[in-house]
A and B are shown apart, each in its own frame.
Chain A
Amino acid sequence: MQQPAQEVMSTAEEQEKWLADAVALVQHNAFFMHRALDANNLRDALKYSAQMLSELRTSKLSPQKYYELYMRTFDELRMLEVFFKEESKRGRTNADLYELVQHAGNILPRLYLLCTVGSVYIKSKEAPAKDVLKDLVEMSRGVQHPIRGLFLRSYLSQISRDKLPDVGSEFEGEGGNVMDAVEFVLQNFTEMNKLWVRMQHQGPAREKEKREKERSELRELVGKNLHVLSQLEGVDLEMYKEVVLPRVLEQVVNCKDELAQYYLMDCIIQVFPDDFHLQTLETLLAACPQLQSTVDIKTVMSQLMERLSNYAASSPEVLPEFLQVEAFTKLSNAVVKVIEAQPDMPLVGAVSLHVALLTFILRVHIDRLDYVDQVLGGCVKKLEGKGKVKDNKATKQLVALLTAPLEKYNDVVTMLKLANYSKVMAHLDYETNKVMATVIIQSIMKNGTYITTADKVDALFELLRELIKDGEGLPAEEVDEEDFKEEQNLVARLVHMLVNPDPDEMFKILTTARKHFRQGGPRRLEYTLAPLVFSASKLVRSLQGREASEDSPVSLEKIFQFLHKTVEDLSMVPAPELALRLYLQCAEAASDCNMEPVAYEFFTQAFVIYEEEIADSKAQVTAIHLIIGTLQRTQVFGVENRDTLTHKATGYSAKLLKKPDQCRAVFACSHLFWVDDEGGVKDGERVLLCLKRALRIANAAQQMSSATRGSNGPITLFVEILNKYLYYYEKGNPQVTSNVIQGLLELIQTEMQSENTVQDPGVDAFFASTIRYIQYQKLKTDEVGERYAAIQT
């Protein structure tokens, strides 16, 4: 009867020793018990088994060690059970035995023996199983020590498992019905849980953590009861709904213990079948908000939702059931309630609950976009007033929340219908938001999703606003230039996905896009406006052939106005070179549409930019060549306008800084007077003027070179000019005669032989191939051949 006054839990070493001592005593008594069994001596058998079982009365062992000890005695008890069975064959009634073992003075050995006899008693069917079970579970109340009680009841559960009067069991009928079986298991479960919870409150506070760990090790003992319940054949939906679940939940809620609540909820979800859950969702979910506020309810609920979604995914025929029980509504209400009930729940918890819910919808109600939006709305509500989410984990969950529908629907257009999507996204911190935006764009690209209405564009850009404009959360430090470029390029690519075959809508799209882009600041415009210009040009091309109808709100004029404005914006950035190119691009488009004034205006703008903004000589060279090239192709101008423009172009060409650049620009200008197309300008004289002027400049360049460096520069320019001459000669420009060419050839040859001239193999080769070309042309028998005949090489 004496027990150590103190419960001493100590180091592993001591534990080992205590266990070893206890095991030795168990073996010792088991040995005598075996002897008594062999001699059919019931009295001694009971005496020694009780002594053996007395070892289980220890308070020293940790749960783990206690378990080892328990297992030892468990094996011995199996032998005793066999003996009891034989004893009843020898004429002793089981009722007798059942009484006899209760003479033991100590309760723990007594109850172990009672359970063991009880098992035989039930098996013999001398008494109804339900009565024996009820008695055993009732008597077990005598052990109130948590660990000892848990193990005792676990033993009871173990020996009774195959003896429950379940439907279809041999013990059904006389032995009771499934209700008795359920009642028994429930009671044992309830008591075990109480003991398990109580463990937490015993012993010093400083060992709380250790106890929690130990408790965690014992949880399966408790959970096993639920497993037994789930295995009962007779527990059908009706009974589960009416009896089992309410009773289990009552216990779970009332025990008010974090660990137990979490584990048991999880257990319920895992052990009972999916369709049970589906049909009892309301009851199960109603328990969730009642749990302790520290319980990790989000994991529990997520698991439930996951199970249900897997269930739905596994067999499509169960889907109507989901609708019938309004699974979503219930789940979503529960999420709201749980969040309300647990005000301390970290944000990440709340968000991940929404993620779970969303996953559920995407699996079960893929067609219910309104549900998705509702979930997002719920999340927004939770986030309201919280500003940007700083918590890393919560951010991750938010991203998951946003990514899930994107991946599921693979269609951003669908997403744009979700009013709350952007609101959720707004709570992401700057960096994450950008990442999310990138993901969205990539999804659009990958899936080739076209955004076809202005409204959608509006919504989309609202989503992507962190990429499109500077947000408030902009970090102070400089953004990485390369990253920025990449992002903006992505946005630029996106522009080409904004397409609608209807010009009216397309124009609206463009306007909307520009509206958004203009908020992006100069740095972004450079990237974003160019694709817009091209997109608009495309629209121009599509309208080009058509008759402008009266009622159409969009006209070429309007588009050009749009283009003008857009490029103008760009020039303000300033991005003169890009603006210049785009102006030229527009000019050409206008020309193709036969809109001379418009084209002229664009050219004017181009020139203005050239004059005012482009100072760099290299840039000037490029620019002037671009202007020349475009102007050459532009057919729309009347003589006057054309003169003005060509004059300007030629003038600027001659004013370039470097002589070679001047030279090249000038001979390029010659093309402005000779358009080879039918009906094109063919002003031979002015061509020749240009060429001559180029030649003069080349000469001047040679002289300058010889004056400054003491040697003549390469004769590249001459060869180039020669080629131009040959071109016009071939094209039949009457002003370009064989004599002129002959002269030029000689000049080049003289220059080449001059000692002052720097030799350049490249140039030599260039000249040589030009000569070869002439000779080749001479061989021709047609008109061209005849013309070339006049030239001597």
Chain B
Amino acid sequence: MNYLIGAFKPPCTVTVEFNDAETRKQANIKKENGQMAPVPLFQSQESVVGEVRIEPLPGKKVEHMGVKIELLGQIELYFDRGSFYDFTSLVRELDVPGEIVDRKIYPFEFSTVEMPYESYNGVNVRLRYILKVTISRSYATNIVEYKDFWVRNFSPPPEINNSIKMEVGIEDCLHIEFEYSKSKYHLKDVIIGKIYFLLVRIKIKHMELEIRRRESTGSGPNTYNETETLAKYEIMDGAPVRGESIPIRLFLSPYDLTPTYRNINNKFSVKYYLNLVLVDEEDRRYFKQQEITMLRID
């Protein structure tokens, strides 16, 4: 079968290199196979500059109808298999139709590219940026090569950042007042807060704070929600009495968080919640969920 494989093998290797590959920052991203791999990191308004190298296999030549490179921003919804939505698409023609006999290098440049959305690998949705090199051929399939890169955008520190303060309870059973110092957090932030017990009639065993991520995809009746608990952080052990106030201090850095994404290209949203859970001795759970906004701040 070897010759068969050989027959379908593209007659050349195509590599895409960034000019500043040596110095550019990289992001560690979990691949589909679950392994972490470094990927070049960009942000919006940066120029994407590099070169495409085409090397025909020895003794082979490549006839083509033209060579082009595209910069694509795609949203891929898993439940809607195979459907890509390109929200960004830029093209550079690299060569006119002809023949490539020897190794050939094409420099390319997309300057100050608008990349409004961040790369994201979610449960039901993926947002990615790729460079796509296409060698068009008339009688054979096009030769296509992809190069992934990652985009993260920073937002300015919020001008208004109110605390979250709320009194909740079950009548004659449990009344608490909780306070988180802010409603907007950056990814390496610390959640500071406290819980004040106004009335305790149940036998509480412990209390924890959860960080939950809700990914909504689709729209209208076809909305899919997926919720993950990213962190479970015990903040109280044992039963408090009336008047106790329990401090909260949760460092966000150990958790794999992203900024909050709201209605990205009308395709999906990612939101974060703090969920305060009280567990009583019968393992009943009492909880209150509050949305927080996550931001990536430089």
Mask of A127-144 contacts with B, CB within 8 angstroms, 1/0:
000000000001101111
Q: Are A141's CB and B234's CB within 8 A?
A: no
| Distance from A702 Cβ to chain B, minimum over Cβ atoms (Å) | 112
On whether A144 and B240 interact (CB within 8 A), knowing A3-B206, A139-B249, the answer reads yes
Mask of A1-34 contacts with B, CB within 8 angstroms, 1/0:
1010100000000000000000000000000000
Within 8 Å of chain A (Cβ to Cβ): is B254?
A: yes
Q: Are A142's CB and B246's CB within 8 A?
A: yes
**Contact residue among B205, B206, B235, B241 (Cβ-Cβ distance under 8 Å from A198):** B241
Q: Are A142's CB and B236's CB within 8 A?
A: yes
| Distance from B238 Cβ to chain A, minimum over Cβ atoms (Å) | 3
| A138 closest partner in B (C-beta) | B247
Q: Are B238's CB and A149's CB within 8 A?
A: yes
A105: chain B residues within 8 A (beta carbon): 231-234
| B235 closest partner in A (C-beta) | A142
| Distance from A51 Cβ to chain B, minimum over Cβ atoms (Å) | 15
Within 8 Å of chain B (Cβ to Cβ): is A378?
A: no
> With the chains together, A148 CA to B240 CA distance in Å?
13
A145: chain B residues within 8 A (beta carbon): 237-239
A148: chain B residues within 8 A (beta carbon): 237-238
A144: chain B residues within 8 A (beta carbon): 236-241, 244, 246
Within 8 Å of chain A (Cβ to Cβ): is B99?
A: no
| A139 closest partner in B (C-beta) | B247
User: Could you tell me which residues of chain A, from 40 to 66, have a CB within 8 Å of some CB in chain B?
Assistant: 57
| A197 closest partner in B (C-beta) | B241
Within 8 Å of chain A (Cβ to Cβ): is B281?
A: yes
Q: Are B254's CB and A141's CB within 8 A?
A: no
User: Could you tell me which residues of chain A, from 67 to 107, have a CB within 8 Å of some CB in chain B?
Assistant: 99, 102-103, 105-107
Within 8 Å of chain B (Cβ to Cβ): is A265?
A: no
Q: Are A143's CB and B247's CB within 8 A?
A: no
Q: Are B238's CB and A143's CB within 8 A?
A: yes
| Distance from A70 Cβ to chain B, minimum over Cβ atoms (Å) | 15
Within 8 Å of chain A (Cβ to Cβ): is B171?
A: no
**Contact residue among B206, B238, B240, B251 (Cβ-Cβ distance under 8 Å from A102):** B251
**Contact residue among A3, A99, A141 (Cβ-Cβ distance under 8 Å from B246):** A141
Q: Are B254's CB and A103's CB within 8 A?
A: yes
On whether A107 and B237 interact (CB within 8 A), knowing A5-B283, A144-B244, the answer reads yes
Q: Are B238's CB and A106's CB within 8 A?
A: no
Mask of B254-269 contacts with A, CB within 8 angstroms, 1/0:
1000000000000000
- Of B206, B241, B253, B282, the most chain A CB neighbours within 10 A belong to B206
> With the chains together, A139 CA to B246 CA distance in Å?
8
B234: chain A residues within 8 A (beta carbon): 1, 105-107, 110
- Of A102, A105, A139, A144, the most chain B CB neighbours within 10 A belong to A144
Q: Are A202's CB and B239's CB within 8 A?
A: yes
> With the chains together, A144 CA to B235 CA distance in Å?
10
> With the chains together, A235 CA to B259 CA distance in Å?
52
Within 8 Å of chain B (Cβ to Cβ): is A536?
A: no
Within 8 Å of chain B (Cβ to Cβ): is A146?
A: yes
| Distance from B190 Cβ to chain A, minimum over Cβ atoms (Å) | 8
Within 8 Å of chain A (Cβ to Cβ): is B153?
A: no
Q: Are B247's CB and A141's CB within 8 A?
A: yes
> With the chains together, A628 CA to B236 CA distance in Å?
108
Within 8 Å of chain A (Cβ to Cβ): is B245?
A: yes
> With the chains together, A194 CA to B254 CA distance in Å?
34
| Distance from A135 Cβ to chain B, minimum over Cβ atoms (Å) | 9
User: Could you tell me which residues of chain A, from 340 to 360, have a CB within 8 Å of some CB in chain B?
Assistant: none
> With the chains together, A420 CA to B234 CA distance in Å?
67
Q: Are B232's CB and A143's CB within 8 A?
A: no
Within 8 Å of chain A (Cβ to Cβ): is B179?
A: no
**Contact residue among A1, A141, A149 (Cβ-Cβ distance under 8 Å from B208):** A1
| A99 closest partner in B (C-beta) | B251
Q: Are A146's CB and B238's CB within 8 A?
A: yes
| Distance from A410 Cβ to chain B, minimum over Cβ atoms (Å) | 57
B206: chain A residues within 8 A (beta carbon): 1, 3, 107
> With the chains together, A194 CA to B243 CA distance in Å?
12
A139: chain B residues within 8 A (beta carbon): 247, 249
> With the chains together, A145 CA to B244 CA distance in Å?
12
| B204 closest partner in A (C-beta) | A144
On whether A141 and B245 interact (CB within 8 A), knowing A148-B237, A202-B239, the answer reads yes
A146: chain B residues within 8 A (beta carbon): 238
Within 8 Å of chain B (Cβ to Cβ): is A108?
A: yes
| Distance from B55 Cβ to chain A, minimum over Cβ atoms (Å) | 43
On whether A107 and B205 interact (CB within 8 A), knowing A141-B246, A144-B244, A198-B241, the answer reads no
| Distance from A201 Cβ to chain B, minimum over Cβ atoms (Å) | 9
> With the chains together, A202 CA to B282 CA distance in Å?
15
> With the chains together, A142 CA to B249 CA distance in Å?
10
| B243 closest partner in A (C-beta) | A194
Write 10 A-B pairs (CB below 8 A) sorted by A numbering: A1-B234, A102-B251, A141-B245, A141-B247, A142-B247, A144-B236, A144-B241, A145-B237, A194-B241, A198-B241
Beyond A1-B206, A106-B234, A107-B206, 20 extra complex contacts between A and B, CB < 8 Å: A1-B232, A5-B281, A99-B251, A103-B253, A105-B233, A107-B236, A107-B237, A139-B249, A141-B245, A141-B246, A142-B235, A142-B236, A142-B237, A142-B247, A144-B236, A144-B237, A144-B241, A145-B238, A149-B237, A198-B241
Top 6 A-B pairs, shortest CB-CB distance: A145-B238, A144-B238, A107-B234, A144-B240, A103-B254, A143-B237
B: residues with CB less than 8 A from A are: 205-206, 208, 231-241, 244-247, 249, 251, 253-254, 281-283
